[in-house]
Amino acid sequence: MSEYVTKETFEKLKADLHHMKSVDRPAASKAIAEAREKGDLKENAEYDSAKEAQGMLEAKIKQLEGIIATAKIVDTNTIDTSRVSILTKVTITNMATKKTVTYQLVGEKEADLKSGKISASSPIGKGLMGKVKGEVAEVQAPNGVMKFKIDDITV
């Protein structure tokens, strides 16, 4: 599945991958070599731990390579703010509580509720996608249907 990301996030992902390959991978190899020098590998917990850490690092590298290979970079200058879409900031009012919040719809890897970023594939994100200003979005939540009025859409 493709991940929608900004240019900045894409560059950060590439930098993280480079760091894993150029710093973390050699460090893992060195840890295995040092543990191997300590004797019998059958009873060497340090060796087992180093091998496990290397395996987890390689899995992270593969996952990140997959994300980078399929990432779709979205230019914030070309986003249409007439409808809610990926990377738009949408101000909504909960019709039941009258509470107003602003969220930015992002890809799953960028989602961070504390920063006001929700995944476009989350229940609320899916419910808001494609809506226009003034429209009411109905979102199926575990406690029933929630209604949100779209107050504003910006970048």
What is the per-residue pLDDT across 53-77, written as a single tens digit (0 to 9) for each? 999 999 999 999 998 998 888 877 7
* Total domains in the fold of the chain: 2
What is the per-residue pLDDT across 5-34, written as a single tens digit (0 to 9) for each? 778 888 999 999 999 999 999 999 998 888
Percentage above 90 pLDDT, the chain: 48
Phi-psi category of residue 144: left, alpha or beta, with phi > 0 → left and psi -120 to 50 → alpha: left
What is the per-residue pLDDT across 77-121, written as a single tens digit (0 to 9) for each? 777 888 998 889 999 999 989 999 999 998 887 888 898 999 888
As a whole number, the mean pLDDT across the chain is 88
CA distance 54 to 44: 16
Domain span holding position 16: 4-73
What's the pTM value of the predicted model, to 2 decimals? 0.65
Same structural domain for residues 20 and 48? yes
Same structural domain for residues 68 and 91? no
* Structure confidence at residue 106 (pLDDT): 87
Out of 23, 55, 73, a domain closes at: 73
Same structural domain for residues 117 and 85? yes
Same structural domain for residues 129 and 88? yes
The DSSP code sequence of 97-129 is T--EEEEEEE-GGG-BGGGTEEETTSHHHHHHT
